Every structure is written in structure tokens, then in C-alpha cells.
């Protein structure tokens, strides 16, 4: 989540959510007639009117929201009283509520319910939103008031949360050009405007390729695929007007199981090429030139601030502090990961030879033969495991963990009592198990559909703050599971179940927040993934396995011998998983450290991977032309390494639970987890917070043990 101040100055990745405008109406009329502008009403402190939102209202709502926030900012900047924490910082924290509400709808229309009409509005609004942000970040009077409060606080420190807000606010303005002269400020704003348009175009191009590259199969091309997958593929094809055929969509949730199980090698190659060439097809939706322009503009912009490269500017307020530290971590793990890939490929080639397949392992073969190796080495069949991984039971398992560790209870709300934007969305009330105190609402949007971006993510519609009275939390999780045929269970892979827990970890981080001001809801990118990665660990605990992993037809618990196989295979395929991720993170960093003048993106990617010694048998997890984390906004730019940084914390924190008397359900460790690692959000320096939890800094050795890699002696 992004703080008020960051929304006002950067809005970064969330800004990808915007829309359209009609002729200007009077303020009173627009506020009453445009549903996106209205205050939320109804139960639970008011909820978004998702059932009434309309793309036609977006432009007017965004423009009115910007107008109102600028009026609030101007009032703060032009206040004739001497700057104080209350009349400057607190006033800024309170500003922009109307625009915040609008962006809640905008985010849904962008990520969950996109349409060609919305994308047109989004493209039109992108430069206007950039101008709006610049009007705030470059407001000289406003910055001078912030600077005055900041300088006074350095001599006479405020209470911890107040001081943290002041420090973060000042730093954000400084990092975004508030100290530049007039000429440089003008160019800074122009660059942001250009970038906002490029980010929108990049993400829309990827979405185009996901929607338009569909592989249709006939009945005789279904070898190896499970009945559930076949039924889902048939329904998707029928929905697309291809009755009697079977659709493999261009998303990870469809691609991954197809490449794992399909016996049709040429079709595997076709599906693989469709997926990994998104944004890289040499047509009007190709992203390579857009990326080159983004890199040039980012370097020019930070150059105005005196930085040599974008990575140096971006990482100064992250846990890594600088690109050298981030690269150092990744390059410590890289050799072990690629060495493991060689072992995995050798095992796969042996199996292929034994089967008489007469092939050399290629990227579209990796998942297929890895699955066969898994069966051979561990007698573990992923499809057999899936029979015990039902989406509804996994949801119950997450609720159980939330109850044990956070003392939360999840209760379904009455159907129709809370508006939703699609019939697939379900809502639960979150309360404290003992006191019954209301904490918030949890929305779940589980299934893939046209207009919904790929992947899985969490977001909030309202965060918990106390500076103007206690607010509840409205949080959501969003996945792209393939919707089953009517009456069929939703069965998912172990990896998908892990991701489900991961994103729920983000939601729990939102619910557990105990901060006073909106700015403190923001996160440090290489830290906020830690909490969610840690929650993944509860999926494989005995209490979850024994209670919630039951067969979707018989209802019988997963057999103990199958559980033992899963645990023995825990480090299986870690070469693939670690290498495909690290390749993306390393290329992200290298791109932003390089000179972007006349850069050829395809060539740079190839040469960077060659220099690293990238195994030819697998690709980057996110190839550059569709790397939305990095090029559809700035949230993860030079920061994709953060998942690895967070995983060091995760592995180390997991060992704290393993060492405790009651393991992952140890009350004392759980209490420290919530108190120091979840509740503070960004109200405390992450390094300090982790030390309070663990008593020391995290160590990389735990990560290497987790992945089954050799532990470095030094």
C-alpha cells in the first residue's frame, strides 16, 4: 500500500489505475451524481459501491478528485501560521480522501475488470495524473513548510510515529526533486509525464498478448492432461465461441500445468513460446522500444538529482541501501542455483533417454521431465497431490492459521449485504476470536477471466489508522485459478497453494497493522514481501496438512506416506525455481546500471544472461518485454531482488519457530512476530524491527539450508 504522501507525490504502480472524464459539472452535482466520488455508506464503516461503478464515471471522478486534493494542498501550503506537525504533516495525511476512494474503483477496473473502453480512459488520464503529482511534489511553499517541520524535529524529536512520518515525508519529497531549481523541476515533471504514458502502454500491450494468444486443442491433443484441467479448458473454449475445443490461455495458471503434463511436445513448445514472447512479437504491441525509452528517462530523471544511475537513487531507502549490496546477495546464491540446474537437467535427460524419447531437454520440456524425475526420485506425483489441494479447504486452512497466530476469526458475510464487482467475489468479516472486536472485511476474487491481469496479488481498499479515529481494514486477495466446470472442485498445485498463502500473508499484514498515520502503512519493498513469504511456511505444518488436505472426492485425509514424500521433495527443482527468479532480478538490476543510450533490449537481455552463465534449458521467470513488476510502474524497478532479500529474512525467521518448543504454533514467538514484524508496518525501521524479533540480523545460511544448497563457510 502507498501512503498519502507517496500517493500525492509518486503514486508509482498504483497510478496505473485511472480513467475518464466528461464535461465538467458543478462540484455539488458531480459529488452527488458520480458514485465514484461519494463517501462510502452501508455497514462496516461504509464499503465501496462496486456494484454501481461504471467506466463512464471514471474520468470525471479522477479529475474532480485531483481538483479537490490540490485545493487541500494549496490550503496547507498557503497557511499563514508557522509550520507545525499538526498544521502541515497531519493536514497532508488527511488530504486526498476523495481521490483515494476513486482510486479504489480505478484499481478494480484496471486489474480485475479491464476493458478496451477503460484502457482508453487510462491512457488519457495517465499524463494528467503525472501533472497532478508534480503539482504537489514541486509545490515550493509546501516543501518549505515540510522542511521547516523536519529541521525542527531533528533538534527536538517528536514521538516515534510522528517522527517517522516527518522523516518519510521529507525524504519522499527530497527524492522526487523538491530541492531542484525551477528549470530542473520543470524537466523532472515532463519526464514523469512521459513515463506515466509509457507505463500504461506497456501494461496494456502485455494484457493484449495475454488475451489474444490462445492455443486451441482438439480432443486428440489432450494426452497427459487431467480431467479437471480438460473440463476447465473446454469451458473456456466454449465461452470464447469455440464449442468442442479446448483453450490454453496465455497466462501462467493455464501455461504451467499444460507444460507439466501435456504429452504433445510441439504444442508444449507453442504454448511456451506464446507465453514467453508476450510483449516481444515485433508488432504494434511490442514493448522493447518502450522499455528503452523508460530506461533513458529514468536515468535522465535521477541525473537531475545528482545520481549516477536509477538503482543508486531507488535503493537508498530500502533495506539493501545500494545496488552493490543487492547484487552481492544475488551473486552469492546464483552459482549454487545454476549448479543445481545442471544436476536437474542431467536427471531429466536420463529419464528422457530411458523412455526412448530421443530428445535434448529444451525450455518447454523442463516442467514435463522434472515431473517425471519427481516421480522417479521421490515417487511423488504432483497430480496425486493436487487431489488433496482444494481451494475451499485451503481457504479454511488459511483462516485456521490466522486464528492460531493472529487470533482472527473469518465469518462469511450475508450474500448481497456487501457490494462486489463480480459474482465470483466472496466476502468475510474479520474479528478478534476472543473479544469479537471487528477488524475488517476480506474480499476474495479467485478466478481468471478476460480483462483480469495475470498472477496473484493483494490490495487494500481501506487501511487501519487512528489519527482521525480508528478505521477498519478492507483488504482483498486476487488470484487467477482456472474456474472449474459446474460441480467440479477447484484443485491446485502445491506451488499455487503456496502462492495463495503468500498473498494471504499480505492481507494479514494489512489487518494486523497498528499505526496512527496513513504514510506508515507504506512499505519498504525488500521487506514487505518477507511477511507474506513467511506465511507460506504454515502450509506445510502438520496441523494444516492433517486437518485441511483431504481428498476432494472421498474426503479422506492425505496419507502420511504421501506427506512424507512431499517433505522429502521440499528442495526438489530448487535450481529451476531459484535460477528463473534470480535471472529476472539480475537483469532488472543490470538494465538500470547500464548506459541506456541506443540500448537494444533483446540483445542486452541475451548478453546479460550469457555473461551470467544462464542455463539454456530455462528462461527468466519474467522476460524483459513483459516484466510488469519493473516496467508497468516503478514499484519493483531495481527492486525485484527484494524477494530474495526477504527470503533471507523468511528462512532465518522460520528457524526461530523451528527452534521454539511448539514449533510454528509457539505462542511466544507468534506474539513477537505480530508485535514486531506485522503490526508496525513502516512505523519502525525494518532492520531494527527484525532485530527486536530475532535478537540479531538475519543470516544467509538459513536460506541456503532451506533450498538444499551448499552452505558457505564464510
Instruction: Using alpha carbons, list the distances in angstroms from residue 313 to 197, 290, 317.
Output: 22, 21, 9
What is the rounded CA–CA span in Å between residue 11 and residue 134?
11
* Nearest CA-CA partner of 210 in 241, 183, 164, 248: 248
Burial class (CB in 10 A: 0-12, 13-18, 19+), 480: buried
Q: Collapsing DSSP states into helix, strand and coil, what is residue 585?
A: helix
- Residues found in the chain: 714
Helix or strand holding residue 132 (H, E)? helix 116-137
In the DSSP assignment, the letter for residue 159 is: -
Confidence at residue 23, expressed as pLDDT on a 0 to 100 scale: 40
Confidence at residue 466, expressed as pLDDT on a 0 to 100 scale: 97
Q: Collapsing DSSP states into helix, strand and coil, what is residue 75?
A: helix
Q: What is the largest CA-CA distance in the chain?
A: 83
List, as one string, the DSSP characters of 340-365: HHHHHHHHHHHHHHHTT------GGG
Burial class (CB in 10 A: 0-12, 13-18, 19+), 280: buried
C-beta atoms surrounding 60 within 10 Å: 22
What is the rounded CA–CA span in Å between residue 247 and residue 234?
6
What is the grid cell recorded at 533? 513469504
Q: Are the beta carbons of 224 and 262 closer than 8 angstroms?
A: yes
Q: Are the beta carbons of 220 and 153 closer than 8 angstroms?
A: no
Helix, strand, coil percentages (3-state) for the chain, rounded to 5, are 60, 5, 35
Q: What is the mean pLDDT of each run of 10 residues along the chain (714 residues)?
A: 36 33 46 89 97 96 98 98 98 98 97 95 94 94 98 97 97 93 95 95 95 96 95 94 96 93 98 97 97 98 97 94 96 97 97 97 98 93 94 98 98 97 97 98 95 92 97 97 90 94 97 97 88 96 95 94 90 95 98 97 98 97 96 93 95 96 98 97 95 96 94 76
Can you state the angle between helices 686-694 and 642-659, rounded to 10 degrees?
20
Confidence at residue 29, expressed as pLDDT on a 0 to 100 scale: 56
Confidence at residue 18, expressed as pLDDT on a 0 to 100 scale: 32
Q: What is the pLDDT of residues 317-366, one digit of tens each?
A: 899 999 999 999 999 999 999 999 999 999 999 999 999 999 999 999 99
Q: What is the pLDDT of residues 480-539, one digit of tens each?
A: 998 988 889 999 999 999 999 999 999 999 999 999 999 999 888 889 899 999 999 999
Question: What is the model's pTM?
Answer: 0.86
For CA atoms 644, 650, 655, 656, give the dihedral sign.
positive
List, as one string, the DSSP characters of 370-426: HHHHHHHHH---HHHHHTT-BHHHHHHHHHHHHHHHH-EEEEEPPTTSS--SSTT-E
Question: Which residue bears the cell 525488500?
Answer: 526
Rg (CA), the chain: 25
List, as one string, the DSSP characters of 245-265: SEEE-SSHHHHHHHHHH---H
Question: Which residue bears the cell 546479460?
Answer: 608
List, as one string, the DSSP characters of 669-697: HHHHIIIIIITTTTSS-HHHHHHHHHSS-
Amino acid at each position: 500500500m502507498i501512503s498519502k504522501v507517496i500517493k500525492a507525490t509518486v503514486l508509482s504502480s498504483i497510478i496505473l489505475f485511472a480513467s475518464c472524464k466528461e464535461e465538467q459539472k458543478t462540484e455539488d452535482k458531480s459529488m452527488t451524481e458520480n458514485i465514484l466520488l461519494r463517501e462510502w455508506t452501508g455497514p462496516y464503516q461504509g464499503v465501496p459501491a462496486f456494484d454501481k461503478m461504471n467506466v463512464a464515471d471514471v474520468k470525471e471522478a479522477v479529475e474532480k478528485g485531483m481538483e479537490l486534493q490540490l485545493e487541500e494542498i494549496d490550503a496547507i501550503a498557503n497557511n499563514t501560521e508557522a509550520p507545525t506537525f499538526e498544521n502541515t504533516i497531519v493536514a497532508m495525511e488527511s488530504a486526498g480522501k476523495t481521490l483515494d476512494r476513486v482510486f479504489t474503483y480505478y484499481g478494480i477496473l484496471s486489474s480485475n475488470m479491464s476493458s478496451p473502453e477503460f484502457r482508453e480512459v487510462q491512457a488519457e488520464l495517465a499524463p494528467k495524473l503525472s501533472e497532478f503529482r508534480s503539482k504537489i511534489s514541486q509545490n515550493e511553499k509546501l516543501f518549505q513548510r515540510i522542511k521547516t517541520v523536519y529541521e525542527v524535529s531533528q533538534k527536538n524529536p517528536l514521538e516515534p510515529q510522528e517522527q517517522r512520518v516527518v522523516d518519510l515525508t521529507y525524504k519522499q519529497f527530497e527524492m522526487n526533486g523538491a530541492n531542484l531549481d525551477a528549470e530542473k523541476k520543470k524537466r523532472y515533471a515532463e519526464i514523469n509525464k512521459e513515463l506515466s504514458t509509457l507505463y500504461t502502454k506497456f501494461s496494456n500491450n502485455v494484457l493484449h498478448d495475454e488475451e489474444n494468444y490462445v492455443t486451441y486443442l482438439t480432443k486428440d491433443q489432450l494426452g497427459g492432461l487431467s480431467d479437471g484441467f480438460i473440463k476447465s479448458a473446454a469451458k473456456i473454449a466454449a465461452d470464447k465461441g469455440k464449442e468442442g475445443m479446448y483453450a490454453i490461455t496465455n497466462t501462467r495458471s493455464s501455461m504451467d500445468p499444460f507444460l507439466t503434463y501435456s504429452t504433445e511436445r510441439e504444442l508444449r513448445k507453442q504454448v511456451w513460446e506464446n507465453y514467453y514472447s508476450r510483449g516481444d512479437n515485433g508488432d504494434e504491441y511490442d514493448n522493447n522500444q518502450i522499455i528503452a525509452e523508460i530506461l533513458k528517462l529514468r536515468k535522465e530523471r535521477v541525473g537531475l538529482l545528482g545520481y549516477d544511475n536509477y538503482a543508486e537513487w531507488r535503493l537508498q531507502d530500502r533495506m539493501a541501501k545500494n545496488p552493490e549490496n543487492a547484487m552481492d546477495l544475488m551473486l552469492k546464491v546464483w552459482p549454487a542455483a545454476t549448479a543445481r540446474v545442471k544436476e536437474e537437467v542431467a536427471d531429466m535427460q536420463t529419464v528422457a533417454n530411458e523412455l526412448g524419447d530421443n530428445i535434448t531437454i529444451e525450455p518447454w520440456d523442463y516442467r514435463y521431465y522434472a515431473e517425471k524425475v519427481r516421480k522417479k526420485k521421490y515417487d511423488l506425483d504432483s497430480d496425486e497431490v493436487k487431489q488433496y489441494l482444494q481451494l475451499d479447504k485451503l481457504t479454511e486452512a488459511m483462516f485456521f492459521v490466522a486464528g492460531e497466530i493472529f487470533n482472527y476469526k473469518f465469518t462469511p458475510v450475508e450474500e448481497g449485504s456487501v457490494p462486489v464487482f463480480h459474482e465470483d467475489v466472496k466476502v468475510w468479516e474479520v474479528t478478534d476470536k476472543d473479544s469479537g472486536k471487528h477488524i475488517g472485511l476480506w474480499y476474495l476474487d479467485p478466478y481468471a477471466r478476460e480483462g483480469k491481469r495475470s498472477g496473484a496479488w493483494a490490495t487494500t481498499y481501506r487501511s487501519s489508522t487512528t489519527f482521525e479515529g480508528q478505521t477498519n481494514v478492507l483488504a482483498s486477495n486476487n488470484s487467477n485459478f482456472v474456474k472449474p466446470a459446474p460441480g467440479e472442485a477447484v484443485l491446485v498445485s502445491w506451488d499455487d497453494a503456496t502462492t495463495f498463502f503468500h498473498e494471504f500473508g499480505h492481507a494479514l499484514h494489512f489487518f494486523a497493522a497498528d499505526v496512527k498515520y496513513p504514510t506508515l502503512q507504506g512499505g519498504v519493498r525488500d521487506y514487505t514481501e518477507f511477511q507474506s513469504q513467511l506465511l507460506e511456511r504454515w502450509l506445510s505444518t502438520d496441523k494444516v496438512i492433517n486437518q485441511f488436505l483431504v481428498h476432494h472426492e472421498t474426503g479422506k485425509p492425505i496419507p502420511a506416506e504421501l506427506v512424507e514424500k512431499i517433505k522429502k521433495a521440499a528442495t526438489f527443482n530448487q535450481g529451476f525455481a531459484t535460477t528463473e527468479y534470480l535471472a529476472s532480478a539480475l537483469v532488472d538490476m543490470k538494465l538500470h546500471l547500464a548506459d541506456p543510450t541506443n540500448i537494444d533490449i533483446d540483445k542486452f537481455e541475451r548478453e546479460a544472461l550469457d555473461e551470467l552463465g544462464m542455463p539454456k534449458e530455462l528462461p527468466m521467470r519474467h522476460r524483459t518485454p513483459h516484466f510488469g513488476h519493473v516496467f508497468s510502474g516503478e514499484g519493483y524497478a531495481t527492486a525485484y531482488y527484494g524477494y530474495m532479500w526477504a527470503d533471507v529474512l523468511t528462512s532465518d525467521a522460520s528457524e526461530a519457530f523451528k527452534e521454539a518448543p511448539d514449533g510454528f504454533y509457539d505462542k511466544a514467538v507468534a506474539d513477537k512476530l505480530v508485535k514486531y514484524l506485522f503490526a508496525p508496518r513502516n512505523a519502525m525501521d525494518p532492520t531494527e524491527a527484525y532485530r527486536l524479533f530475532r535478537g540479531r540480523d538475519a543470516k544467509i545460511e538459513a536460506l541456503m539450508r532451506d533450498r538444499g544448497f551448499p552452505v558457505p563457510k564464510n
